[in-house]
Structure 1
Amino acid sequence: MTDDQGSDDQGSGGESTLTVIIAGAANALIGVLKLVAGLLTGSAAMLAEAAHSVADTATEGLLLTALRRSARAPDRRHSFGYDKERYFWALIAAVSIFVSGGVFAIYEGIRSIVGEEAEQTLAWVAYAVLGVSFLLEGTSWMQAVRQVRREAAAERVTFFGWLRGTDDPTVKTVFFEDSAALIGLVLAFAGVGLHQLTGNGIWDGIASLLIGLLLTAVAYILGGTNKGLLIGRQADVRLVAAIRRELAARPEVEAVVDLLTMMLGTDSVLLCARLDFDGRLGADDLERACVTIDAALREQFTDLAEIFLEPVPRTDPTMRARVLDRYGRTLDA
């Protein structure tokens, strides 16, 4: 929201790419190891985990696409830019997690539970792969955690508060999928171990089923986040409140009648402010006031990409009714 935060945001773009690349490389290697282990051991949980890693690797590819395509400059066809492509590709990534990971894991789990029991072999291979996978996934997860902590500290919010309110779906996606991966590895370890201890393959199937349900939950959370951003979510409430205070304090402005914001992309906000200006201002004075206010807002709030200022009398009944319908009160109350 300030110049310092703007610098942090520019740096976080490169860090987001690094976070995604680390996660993608780890998941690609882990996926191969899990697939080999699943084929050698006959473990449904290991095969489910292999599908999990394939889904995660595909997700990282989609997130890299999101980062690259959303960085394109505005043009005549897309005058507000391409920032929302990041949300679109992140939504596709969430669907990928469910389709290529969750559905396969659930299918494998049900097949193992109700179908003919498969003999478990070379359990030590599964344990070794799960151990290596945990180290690699943990490395990727720690990178995501470090970035979330830095972003949260820069915005003076809690760790989970940042995750709830962030407009950067890439880091949030990596954090949630890596967290799910670590939990999935524990579930797979438990399934393989209980199968070995009891000789009953149902435990392997239950572990696979739980992994599928876990991936489905993660896909639902991420899908909901990106749906809200694609529809057009309001900017951070702290930013909106700060803009309102700044406008209300301007000597040219008698009242802030309406204030509309929408996230155009990560760290990119559209602002439409309807203002009741000082009635003593002439047409030339009003034009100069709009230019001055625009420049002041851009200097103080670096997330503002587009600003529209509209002179509106606060006594206009149509405008008052519109604001009351939206907020339940007028902004100058």
Structure 2
Amino acid sequence: MSRHADAAPHSTGTPDRHPGKDTEDARTAVTVFVALGANLVIALAKLAGGLFAGSPALLSEAAHSVADSLNELFLLASLKRSNRAPDSRHPFGYGKERYFWSLLAAVGIFVMGGCFSFFQGIEALRSDHSETRTGYLVGLAVLAVALVAEGSSLIRALVQVRGQARRSGRSMREAVRTADDPALRTVLAEDSTACFGVLVAMAGMGLHMITGEVRWEAWASMIIGALLVFVAYQLAKESRGQIIGEAADPALRRALRRFLEEQPEIDTVTTLLTMRLGTRSTLVAARTDLVGGLDSEEVEEVLVRLKSAIRAQWPIADQVFLDVTDASPNDRERARRERRQLDETVAAGGEEPGTRQQEDAE
């Protein structure tokens, strides 16, 4: 039980800029611009080829590229708007703007890409359309060019992820799986899906040309639609979770809890809450029971020192609130249970207390 004067919760000031993260944002912007340029050129080529060849699969791919182009504009808006400074209406900043615009991008993939592809496939099944050999060859040539362009954009995104992996000491696979930036994650999803979709469209057109049966292209179009719907759902689910408010990753939470519990002035950390406010910002709120014998001035000094230490060790934790409370037996038991759960979660995930989230912010 604490034996000290009451103290009000303490917080940090406004978040600092992270030069390293600004550089990463610039890299992401270049990646998005490359994807936008590729998709605009590809969309026009696919549309022209699809109209010339009368290919539902090619028209589906054109819709896919148009949707991707609009989504890149959403992502560019997210990069700009999420970096605005905090103000009186948004004291924690605009970091979550990035998740909102990524959600709109996911909706665009679903509506303009997935639904249109299904429509083209169903329409093709109802028709007995057949194209000349020249039309097929034109369509396949357009898709081949599209594959090169989409592949180039995908390689650019993967190069950025590889750089992140090298700087954080992670494997390439782990860096792709845990990419925090929704803009980069969306470009990766779009470009990888586009490359696979082009291959499916080429297979459908080729089988249509060989067999004379349009159903092959129709099924290719619907496979592309199903793929786009799945990707849109996954991206929307990620964005939804971040907009609602997700906790920091378990390794960061465990590291913060251990740091506080190791302080000689702290008897028990009764509650530790975190929430990601953006790709460069995390809120940390903790209730602590201090050891006895501290007066109000000493409590003040302890809280200020702890806040500064947290900010120094974890710059991404830029909003820190510390509250002093008296821990009950139930509070202590809950704290022990939460500590065990965090240890088990981190052990199961194989993450170390350096934390992916902190590494990406540096």
Could you say whether these structures have the same fold, taking a TM-score greater than 0.5 normalized by the shorter chain as the test? Answer: yes
Change (3 A) 1:10 1:297: same
Q: Normalising by structure 2, what TM-score? A: 0.85
2:253 paired with 1:240: yes
Deviation for aligned residue 1:236: 1.8
Could you say which residue in structure 2 is the equivalent of 1:14?
26
- Structure 2 residue ranges without an equivalent (≥5): 1-17, 344-362
2:152 paired with 1:149: no
Which of 110, 116, 124 does residue 98 from structure 1 map onto? 110
Could you say which residue in structure 2 is the equivalent of 1:130?
143
AA matched with 1:118: H
Tell me if structure 1 keeps the 8 A contact 2:95–2:280. Answer: no
Could you say which residue in structure 1 is the equivalent of 2:71?
59
Deviation for aligned residue 1:32: 0.2
AA matched with 2:96: K
AA matched with 1:74: P
Tell me if structure 1 keeps the 8 A contact 2:270–2:334. Answer: no
AA matched with 1:47: L
Q: How large is the Cα RMSD of the aligned pairs?
A: 2.0
Could you say which residue in structure 2 is the equivalent of 1:117?
128
| C-alpha distance after superposition, 1:230-254 (max 9, x if no partner) | 1111112221122122212222222
Change (3 A) 1:56 1:256: same
Tell me if structure 2 keeps the 8 A contact 1:258–1:331. Answer: no
Which of 48, 55, 66 does residue 60 from structure 2 map onto? 48
User: Secondary structure of 2:303's match?
Assistant: helix
Q: What percentage of residue pairs aligned between the two structures are identical? A: 43
Which of 141, 149, 170 does residue 183 from structure 2 map onto? 170
Q: Normalising by structure 1, what TM-score? A: 0.92
Moved more, 233-242 or 211-220: 233-242
- State the distance in 2 between where 1:40 and 1:164 align: 40
| C-alpha distance after superposition, 1:201-241 (max 9, x if no partner) | 11111111111011001001101111111111111222112
Could you say which residue in structure 2 is the equivalent of 1:3?
none
Deviation for aligned residue 1:127: 1.6
Deviation for aligned residue 1:290: 0.6
Tell me if structure 1 keeps the 8 A contact 2:36–2:69. Answer: yes
Give the count of matched residue pairs. 324
Moved more, 48-57 or 236-245: 236-245
| C-alpha distance after superposition, 1:261-305 (max 9, x if no partner) | 000001210000111212121100000111111111111101012
Bigger RCO (CA 8 Å, 6+ sep): 2
AA matched with 1:139: S
- Structure 1 residue ranges without an equivalent (≥5): 1-5
- State the distance in 2 between where 1:155 and 1:276 align: 35
- State the distance in 2 between where 1:249 and 1:16 align: 38
User: Secondary structure of 1:271's match?
Assistant: strand
